[in-house]
Structure 1
Amino acid sequence: MPATPPSTPFADELREAVAAGFPLAVADLSRLVRIPSVSWDGFDPEQVEASAEAVRALAADTGVFEDIDIVQVPIGEGSKLGLPAIIATRAARNGRPTILLYAHHDVQPPGEDEHWDSVPFEPTLRGDRLYGRGAADDKAGVMTHIAAIRSLVAVAGDDLDVGLVLFIEGEEEFGSRSLPEILRRYRDRIASDVIVVADSGNWDLDTPALTIALRGAVAFNLRITTLAHASHSGMMGGAVPDAPMAAIELLATLWKKDGSVAVEGLTSHDEETPKYGETKLREESGLLDAVSPIGKGAILSRLWYQPSITVTGMDIPNIRNASNTLVPSVRVRISARVAPGQTAQEAFDAIEAHLMGHVPFGAEISIEDLDMGNPFLVDSSGWAAADALETMGEAWDTEGVEIGAGGSIPFIADLVDMFPEAQILITGVEDPDSRAHSPNESLHLPTLRRAILSEALLLSRLNARSGE
């Protein structure tokens, strides 16, 4: 096992380098945010390609990588290509370890402009927060890696011996569908001793965190059909069930009266959680004063270690186009989170069985566009996690903590399967008010600066490591 350096080399010099390079990092981040790199079907894939090219140029400008490629591979066994990822590599020297730095340059759809206080893809500074889709999730992760490398290069110069792999994915927000094939094809190039996934968050604005638990994800479209064609709601209503009625009846069976899931076969994970009260939940979620929280047990257990089911979209005539009509078919998007300890396939099987067993009125239902990702518990007992927590403490002047996350990063299980000896570190620049995936997504710029410094300090430690 690599020997632990007595302290972080060049700590003071790195602080100065990060501070000097921070304005450029924010400017580069703003340029990335202006590219609407939505990876979902129905959006322009050329924008994701433009984003990939911009990231490739940033990697090239660091001057440290020996090889930089934009890669696209087929999704599964089909011929359709996934969206472009960037792989940049530099071989380790003099017995130093290799570290893989992961982030993703694709983003979620912005939603409706009227729900934003500024234009989604025009980075807007208000106070110490930068607003824009992707500003936090996860183009800030991209810039954390780029800026940390720049700072280390400025300080270490010719003494840069740590191996570097920069892996920036282009379809994380759309299920990482081609990622397993990327890992298979480029395994030798991206094999590393330490993997840093900069796609999570921190406890709060003042407290850095390593994420050690992630829920898995199951998402699919559910179609409910009751009629062969639309009919006049006045003439047939009251005798003929329409699809919205059947959908409401069916969806309501997914939850108990307290809001916890009612699907037999979904399991929870038993783990202690830090103190986190209802007041903080309301502050961070925007829960209205008159609305009660749902679920049972400790709040963080509900968020980190219990399953949840959410309806995230519905295809149904909007009010402007509503007519006095019985709607024959509707489609809903269901997003479920899977507790650690259960596979996504097991969770999907339980949800599917529940839906099939609770169909009202004899309606027809079908499931389409299934995406799954397994939950994960991180082994944080290795030297890399200890180094990461220590460098977080140096950068924040506050001890780092270990947290769980209700969100999912499904590909981490793929990384562990492919590189079982690698130590996984899940970091990030988000905070409870970043509102990732939501309107008015934003990044707290002082947090970005600390995240860059923390990673630069970690890279410096690895650059000083050698075999015992």
Structure 2
Amino acid sequence: MTHPLTDESVRPDEPDTLEALRSAVEAGFPSTIADLTRLVKIPSVSWSAFDPAEVAASAEAVAGLVRELGVFEVVDVRRAPIGEGADAASGQPAVVARRAARNGRPTVLLYAHHDVQPPGLDEDWDSAPFEPTLRGDRLYGRGAADDKAGVMAHIGAIRALVEVLGPDFDLGIALFIEGEEEFGSRSFANFLREHRDLLEADAIVVADSSNWDVETPALTVALRGNVTFRLRVSTLDHASHSGMFGGAVPDAMLAAVRLLATLHDADGSVAVAGLTSADLATPDYDEAQLRAETGLLDGVAPIGRGSILSRIWAQPSITVTGIDAPSVANASNTLIPSVAVRLSARIAPGQDAGEALEALRAHLEAHAPFGARIEIDDVDTGQPFLVDTSGWAVAESKAAMADAWGREPVDVGIGGSIPFIAELVEEFPRAQILVTGVEDPDSRAHSPNESLHLGVFRRALLAEALFLARLDAREAGSPDRT
């Protein structure tokens, strides 16, 4: 059989191949959306308080879709332990698949995750979070964008590739659809080590990021790291009457509020010595766009210094994401002995997460008011990441995006974190890593009314299909497109 993309009459970078893939994507798009809606209906929240059977059901549903592609030699649902030792708990189920490369072609690893964030309160959604609903050009539902659309972008791209090339193409493909990304990827490093032979690749596509807008693709080249922990502030060994002793005895809430206030300057910039910033070029992005994309209320000013995008991509930030304290409804006239808060710090590319944790610890210990006692536990860290944009995989990906979208892609940073990328780099140091995505600024991942823009999804799917087709026509290690 003559391979369509090695025949002299058809090359992967010629318009007829692009149009063939475009037609295949369009023809398969209704089925792709139908499969996506079925996945979104599974409430696969990986957090420990939620039913793990739903995550298992989601993994089996994804595995079924992967098997139907008919191109992989191995398709399994597997787990890895969290931590070390015989008593280590098992992580959530992930889907792995692999087909071997042939005739000197490279291998690409396609990553996404099938678990989702908790939905929050139903009343905050305009439609039920696990009942995917189409309104206009957006599909609403928890996981519709983050990241079950990433899963279906990989599956849909391979479907289009098979439609154009047939199932006997030469490109090696590995697939890793994780089941606990939203719960910290706690078994990720062990999973990589235990399944290295299935996952090793020349290039890795992480489909878990966003685009510049609904008309402009983006390649994520910088990610902030994260340091999160529980901070407990204590001033008393038992509660006391606020009327009897208030004014002489510092309660834990007062101490916590004063301590948290030391983390920021008057303009909202982080004021913790030892937390660094990165020197990154940023595109134009004004306050009006920030307000439109975030819902910043009229009269509320942005915080921080420097260009707006540098504050999000290249500077640290600290957020109090939770407080354990009496609710207003249950408040009594009591001096509270202890308060716990959850702190989430984002750290700039170039800083080590362990160094950032120690800087935060030192700051909190030095600034504890009234001699309050502080404890830090339940720590999670993730390293920041800077993409090396000089490799052939980046060039191929950008060219595919430009052809599929009709616009040149933008290099972007992301204020959020994908900590496991550092583990991918450690395990596969020679692999080129591409961070792509199907989201846009209004996707509202992690928030109520999360949604997927269907036009963005269609173009992202086509870009990945074209990327795979072009890799199928190049020799592994070749510096230039063949």
Residues in 2 aligned to 1:120 and 1:109: alpha-carbon distance in whole angstroms: 9
Relative to structure 1, the CA distance from residue 83 to residue 6 in structure 2 (aligned partners, 3 Å threshold; closer, same or farther) is closer
Look up the match of 1:444: 453
C-alpha contact (below 8 Å) 2:70/2:167 kept by paired residues: no
Q: Deviations over 1:349-407 (max 9, x none)?
A: 10011111111222222112111111111011111111111111111111112111111
45, 51, 54: which one aligns with 2:52: 45
* Deviation larger for 188-197 or 151-160: 151-160
SS at 1:70's partner residue?
Answer: strand
Tell me whether 1:225 sits opposite 2:231 in the alignment.
no
Deviation at 1:6, TM superposition (A): 6.5
Look up the match of 1:402: 411
Deviation at 1:158, TM superposition (A): 4.1
Q: Structure 1 vs Structure 2: percent identity of aligned residues?
A: 67
SS at 1:432's partner residue?
Answer: coil
Deviation at 1:308, TM superposition (A): 0.5
SS at 1:10's partner residue?
Answer: helix
* Deviation larger for 336-345 or 22-31: 22-31
Query: How do residues 30-429 of structure 1 correspond to structure 2 at under 5 angstroms?
Result: 30-78=37-85, 79-429=88-438
Deviation at 1:159, TM superposition (A): 3.7
- Runs (5+) with no aligned partner, structure 1: none
Output the amino acid matched with 1:383: W
SS at 1:168's partner residue?
Answer: strand
Deviation at 1:268, TM superposition (A): 0.4
4, 13, 24: which one aligns with 1:7: 13
| TM-score, length of structure 1 as denominator length | 0.96
SS at 1:114's partner residue?
Answer: helix
C-alpha contact (below 8 Å) 2:223/2:415 kept by paired residues: yes
* Deviation larger for 152-161 or 213-222: 152-161
18, 22, 33: which one aligns with 2:29: 22
C-alpha contact (below 8 Å) 2:71/2:167 kept by paired residues: no
Residues in 2 aligned to 1:306 and 1:148: alpha-carbon distance in whole angstroms: 35
Q: Deviations over 1:66-98 (max 9, x none)?
A: 111112111121511111111111111111110
Output the amino acid matched with 2:13: S
- Runs (5+) with no aligned partner, structure 2: 1-5
SS at 1:322's partner residue?
Answer: coil
Look up the match of 2:3: none
Output the amino acid matched with 1:118: S
Residues in 2 aligned to 1:81 and 1:158: alpha-carbon distance in whole angstroms: 35
Residues in 2 aligned to 1:312 and 1:406: alpha-carbon distance in whole angstroms: 16
SS at 2:166's partner residue?
Answer: helix
C-alpha contact (below 8 Å) 2:113/2:147 kept by paired residues: yes
Residues in 2 aligned to 1:42 and 1:211: alpha-carbon distance in whole angstroms: 32
Q: CA RMSD in A?
A: 1.5
Output the amino acid matched with 2:457: L
